[in-house]
Structure 1
Amino acid sequence: MNDIIKIQEIGLDKLNNAEFVAFMTRFDELVSKAGTLEGEEEKSALGFAITELEAFDSDLNLIKDLVDQSRISDYTAQLQGIDKERDEWVVSLFAEVRSGKASKVASRREAAISLYNIIKPYTGCYRLPGMQETSKIEGLLIDLKKPENTSLVTTLGLNEIIVGLEETNGEYAILMAKRTEENAAARLEETKSVRARMIKLYDYMSTMAFVQSVAHPTEVTAAFVSSLNALISEVNTRYNQRIAQLNRKKDEQPA
């Protein structure tokens, strides 16, 4: 009687997305390496239809995209519009201050020169990417609102510009936060759904491969079961190491 080698258990639900994708990618490679049954190109040498593997491949590509890439958001157009508006406020602010530096009115000219030295570090901030610009504008607004600068702002008549800039910058930050939150939630739900389908397919294909290795043993089925068990052992070991490391870090934190 030949020894029966069972496929080891692996708790796929416990793996994080990176571990899950890595395991499923290597599983897919093992299945593909096994090839098809001789004379039956539509059937894997491991006992299941090639269409099952094709469905698995499709979901594997999908989950890689979900894990590695951000989705295009419905908020994109709104964000672009608000970003353009706040850019215009920034440009207007600097234009007014530069214009004031050339004023024939001494009080206005002196106020503009003083204020320009304060806002100069923020020159070109409207060219920065999204949230970098938001942060830079927040710093600019803090400086403009300092008590010692109030009279300079008033002399140059910049209050309306500052209000407009503050409102649009705030709107941008709020909308960006909503987009980030909703994108994350959408990706999470879709990733959960894809993972569930892939786990079901994995269970089916690995079970069929085990059955094939017992009912119709070949070098191919034996190699597959052996390689899959080695892979499962490796993944379980790495998972346990990661959890142990996390627990050590928690223990090291002061109470």
Structure 2
Amino acid sequence: MEQLTLLSEAFIIIYVPIKEGEKRMDELVEIQKMRLTRLDNALHVLYHSDAYDIVHAVDITKLGLTLALLNEWNGNLLTEKDLNLEAQANHNTKLLNEKNEERNKLITFIFNVVRTYQRSPDADEAKAATQLDIITRRYRGIQYGSKSHETVHIDGLLIDLKKAEMTPLLATLRLTSAVSLLETANAEFNKFRKARTASRAKKDLPKIVEVRPKTDAVYERVIFMLQAAYLSGSATVDKELIRTVAKQLNQRMDEINETFSQILARRKSDKSKDPKTPKEPKKPRKPKDKDDPDIRLPETEEPKKPGDNGKDKKPEGGGTPKPGGGGKKPEGGGSGAEGGGKNPKEGGSGSEGGGGASGGGPEIHLPEN
């Protein structure tokens, strides 16, 4: 039995297993492809057109294809072509592009005059240009955006420039005519845009995003039927012709892949040439309010004050000195020889525990246990 194996997104291969002892035959027909959804609209139409022409150029009965399938493929392809070429072929689109170019030139002229006359030696011209610059500076660069955005911005610019206070300023710089021409060109642009919308609505064409998947689906069926016919062994099928068609399809896909890669490389190169947007400077930290000083939690232990080491401490040796002690000479407190027989408290001799050799020292009390 035939067996379909999907090896990757890049290849679809039909494989017929060979039993031992059987004669080996051509078992693979390979048709290269890529993700057609990656291609832009122009390349998508181009590949399908070429692929259809390759298949349609031979006898489709020898490929195992039906006329109904090819007609469906061609019908979707023609619709896709119509959608891709409609914008370029539409007369209103051509007029739109011409009017848009006219608008761009007028806008650039007005902005350049305002910028240049700010340096005019004539005081009135410099003053008028400075005042107009306040109005026009917010619109700088609008001619480089999309046509729809440009139209909206031009409407706003004209509203500002048509104000009564702007009239003498425009007259001073001789810009009155240029502003009127811009207003006319913008009105004609809007007229052509509305006409193109009405023309497209009459054609009642589907959206390109709806047509492309249908075209791809038919193409997948064509490839499947080519591969199935190659393995069917039918007498009406020409395997050599199928191999020839497959080689041509593969060659065309290689060329499309190469073109697509070149487009991607060009886009990447153009993007790298664009000036990088400078990073915004970091915002400075908000200064602390003078009335809001740093709040710190108190430490667990209060710091000791200098000179506090001996405060509130009692002198070594115990309590308060008794009267008559410390610093006072004991009564009769002469030398040891003179103090014989007296109580030591009265300054007796050292042999009796008296006042010692000099006899007049303070009493010493041992601390009580």
How does the TM-score come out when normalised to structure 2? 0.39
The answer to whether the 8 A contact 1:21-1:63 is kept is yes
| Aligned counterparts of 1:166 and 1:250: Cα–Cα separation in 2 | 32
The structure whose residues are more often helix, as a share, is: 1
Q: Is 2:69 the partner of 1:48? A: no
Q: In structure 2, what is the equivalent of residue 198 of structure 1?
A: 215
| Aligned counterparts of 1:252 and 1:149: Cα–Cα separation in 2 | 38
Amino acid at match of 1:35: D
Q: Is 2:258 the partner of 1:234? A: no
Q: Is 2:76 the partner of 1:59? A: yes
Q: Is 2:29 the partner of 1:8? A: no
- 1:124-147, Cα deviation, whole Å (9 max, x unpaired): xxxxxxxxxx99xx8xx97xx842
| Aligned counterparts of 1:213 and 1:69: Cα–Cα separation in 2 | 39
Q: State the shift of 1:31 in Å.
A: 1.1
Question: Residue 243 and residue 187 in structure 1: after superposition, are their counterparts in 2 closer, same or farther (change >3 A)?
Answer: farther
- 1:39-59, Cα deviation, whole Å (9 max, x unpaired): xxxxxx322321010111112
Question: Residue 166 and residue 254 in structure 1: after superposition, are their counterparts in 2 closer, same or farther (change >3 A)?
Answer: closer
Q: Secondary structure at the match of 1:224?
A: helix
* Aligned partner of 2:42 among 3, 18, 40: 18
Q: State the shift of 1:67 in Å.
A: 0.8
Question: Residue 184 and residue 8 in structure 1: after superposition, are their counterparts in 2 closer, same or farther (change >3 A)?
Answer: farther
Alignment of 1:185-224 (within 5 A): 190-216=207-233, 218-224=239-245
* Aligned partner of 1:252 among 246, 266, 273: 273
The answer to whether the 8 A contact 1:28-1:57 is kept is yes
Alignment of 1:68-83 (within 5 A): 68-70=85-87
Q: Which has the larger radius of gyration?
A: 2
Amino acid at match of 1:24: H
Q: State the shift of 1:17 in Å.
A: 1.1
Q: State the shift of 1:9 in Å.
A: 2.5
Amino acid at match of 2:42: A
The answer to whether the 8 A contact 1:210-1:225 is kept is no
Amino acid at match of 1:229: N
| Aligned counterparts of 1:30 and 1:62: Cα–Cα separation in 2 | 19
Q: In structure 1, what is the equivalent of residue 51 of structure 2?
A: 27
| Aligned counterparts of 2:57 and 2:255: Cα–Cα separation in 1 | 19
Q: In structure 2, what is the equivalent of residue 225 of structure 1?
A: 246
- CA-based RMSD of the aligned residues comes to 4.2
Question: Residue 226 and residue 173 in structure 1: after superposition, are their counterparts in 2 closer, same or farther (change >3 A)?
Answer: closer
| Aligned counterparts of 1:11 and 1:183: Cα–Cα separation in 2 | 33
Q: State the shift of 1:198 in Å.
A: 0.4
Question: Residue 32 and residue 149 in structure 1: after superposition, are their counterparts in 2 closer, same or farther (change >3 A)?
Answer: closer
Question: Residue 200 and residue 183 in structure 1: after superposition, are their counterparts in 2 closer, same or farther (change >3 A)?
Answer: farther
Amino acid at match of 1:228: L
Unpaired runs of 5+ in structure 2?
Answer: 1-23, 93-150, 172-179, 277-369
Amino acid at match of 2:216: I
Alignment of 1:86-165 (within 5 A): 146-147=167-168
- 1:10-43, Cα deviation, whole Å (9 max, x unpaired): 1111111110111011011111023132xxxxxx
Q: In structure 2, what is the equivalent of residue 123 of structure 1?
A: none
Q: State the shift of 1:237 in Å.
A: 1.4
Question: Residue 10 and residue 182 in structure 1: after superposition, are their counterparts in 2 closer, same or farther (change >3 A)?
Answer: farther
| Aligned counterparts of 2:266 and 2:200: Cα–Cα separation in 1 | 26
Corresponding pairs, count? 174
Q: Secondary structure at the match of 1:7?
A: strand
Amino acid at match of 1:207: F
The answer to whether the 8 A contact 2:64-2:226 is kept is yes
| Aligned counterparts of 1:172 and 1:241: Cα–Cα separation in 2 | 39
Q: In structure 1, what is the equivalent of residue 332 of structure 2?
A: none
| Aligned counterparts of 1:168 and 1:30: Cα–Cα separation in 2 | 51
Relative contact order, higher structure (CA 8 A, sep 6+) = 1
| Aligned counterparts of 2:217 and 2:198: Cα–Cα separation in 1 | 27
Q: Secondary structure at the match of 1:10?
A: coil
